[in-house]
Amino acid sequence: MKKYLFIIVTLLTAMACQKDNLQTQSTVALIQIDKPQNLKNAQLSHIKLTAREANTGLTTLLDVSPEGLLTQKLPFGSYTFSLEATISYEVGEEKVQGKAKSYVENVLVKPETSPTVCKFFLINEKANFVIKELFYTGNTTPEGKSYNGDKYFLIYNNSDSVLYADGLLISQSKFLTSAQNMYTPDVMNEAFTTSQIVMIPGDGDDYPIQPGAQFVVANNAINHLEYNSNSLDLSTAEFEIDLIASINVDNPLVPNTIGVTGSLLMNNQGLQSYVIAKLPKDVSVDQYLKDNFYTYSWKNALGNTQTSTGYKLPNDYIIDAVNVGIQQNYQWLVTAPSIDMGYTYTSVINADLNRFGKSVIRKVLSTSATGKDILQDTNNSAADFIPQAKPSLYK
């Protein structure tokens, strides 16, 4: 629905040649507000309108009442209107609150002007990289054999600023979402436990990613259609993972990720979860590994104590997280709820043969002022992702 704001504008008009014979004339300026697209039950409140006159530079801040009415003296002129508001909307059954903006240039303030359309767009000042898509299942060949080389991560710049992929970490969880254990020590509220981390190369500004742009991190950045007609072409991926020798196929034209620890072999059933993160500028990879290695223990089904080791990836370093599980076997989240409070899936049952050739894809929430997609990111993968989706890189 469209809301109309009736703003009483007083225009200063010279009614006679004499300097002291000025009279004022009032008119009504009509502003038509369009709410952000695709948002469920969106409501705007606390609307502030800043009007800047182009010739004089005079700037006036106007508070718009909940009824959309205000009286304000503005000299005749050509204005830029900037509007900011609080916006509330629904995602699933949850109420979400955020910020919205609108910006309109060349608004003529004079009697009998046409309505000025102010189209609001959702903004997220904390937006960053997000995991847009996970294709971890791989495909099958026409003969029905498993084909794993064509897996990929798709990472998206969900902000309004240029971000740099340099140094971005991609990690798979050590713990399984299908096997809940009481681990000692329990570090989940402070860190993500992993043994597989890769890092995007670069010196900090080598790989700029524009707002609304994405990049692919492939298992093997080759044209897999040459080997499997059911697969896809990943030869144009921006990066590829340096896998273990037995399954690695290197494309010399595509930069390799840097192995921080382990080799990132995506579980094709979807039993593990994923995060992207960045180390603080004053923490080197060697220092991170030294400070975050730990040993943990748990009791197995027979009551015997088992131990293992892993690395803590502090939650403060994590930019985005996606829990992945199998519907029938899902037991728990392997991240703190503060970074992800739900899971998505490609498999309904264990060893689900229908999982192959499917991915999980993040939903589009709205559109920015520049026309780019704003992806949904409520830190709840159950709400934010489309499960069992067709991989977006299929032709």
Give per-residue pLDDT as tens, 131-145: 999 999 999 999 999
Sign of CA dihedral 3, 59, 110, 121: negative
Q: What is the mean pLDDT of the chain?
A: 87
pLDDT given at position 7: 44
> Average pLDDT for residues 183-205, to the nearest whole number?
97
Cβ atoms of 340 and 323 within 8 Å: the answer is yes
Nearest CA-CA partner of 13 in 5, 24, 2, 26: 24
Residue 391 identity (one-letter amino acid): P
Residue 3 buriedness (CB in 10 A; 0-12 / 13-18 / 19+): middle
Please report which confidence band the pLDDT of residue 47 belongs to, taking 50, 70 and 90 as the band edges: confident
- What digits encode the pLDDT tens for the residues 78-121? 888 888 888 888 877 778 888 888 878 788 877 766 667 777 77
Residue 28 identity (one-letter amino acid): V
Q: What is the 3-state secondary structure (H, E, C) of 283-318?
A: CCHHHHHHHHEEEEEEECCCCCEEEEEEEEEEHHHE
Please report which confidence band the pLDDT of residue 20 belongs to, taking 50, 70 and 90 as the band edges: very low
Alpha carbon distance, N-terminus to C-terminus of the chain: 37
CA angle 67, 68, 71 (to 5 degrees): 110
Rounded CA gap, 271 and 174, in Å? Answer: 10
- Specify whether 39 is located in the same domain as 103: yes
- What digits encode the pLDDT tens for the residues 246-271? 778 889 999 999 999 998 989 999 99
> Average pLDDT for residues 363-385, to the nearest whole number?
89
Domain boundary (123, 139, 156) is at: 123
- Specify whether 363 is located in the same domain as 215: yes
- Specify whether 248 is located in the same domain as 340: yes
Cβ atoms of 218 and 249 within 8 Å: the answer is no
- Specify whether 91 is located in the same domain as 195: no
- Specify whether 137 is located in the same domain as 157: yes
Token pair for 51 = 């009007």
Q: Is the pLDDT of residue 245 over 90?
A: no
Give a yes or no: residue 379 inside a domain: yes
Q: Is the pLDDT of residue 41 over 80?
A: yes
Domain count of the fold of the chain: 2
- Specify whether 73 is located in the same domain as 26: yes
- Specify whether 180 is located in the same domain as 306: yes
Q: Is the pLDDT of residue 16 over 90?
A: no
Omega prior to 185 cis, within 30 of 0: yes
Q: Domain range for residue 73?
A: 3-123
pLDDT given at position 91: 79
- Specify whether 100 is located in the same domain as 234: no
Instruction: Please give the residue that has the higher pLDDT: either 83 or 305.
Output: 305
- Specify whether 218 is located in the same domain as 88: no
Rounded CA gap, 153 and 165, in Å? Answer: 13
For residue 285, the surrounding DSSP H or E stretch is helix 285-292
- Specify whether 117 is located in the same domain as 143: no
Q: Is the pLDDT of residue 4 over 70?
A: no
pLDDT given at position 124: 67
- Specify whether 336 is located in the same domain as 300: yes
Q: DSSP class of residue 289?
A: H
Q: Which residues contact 278 (CB under 8 A, 6 or more apart)?
A: 167, 168, 169, 317, 319
> Distances in Å between the alpha carbon of 85 and those of 3, 46, 225, 250?
13, 5, 49, 50
> Average pLDDT for residues 161-185, to the nearest whole number?
97
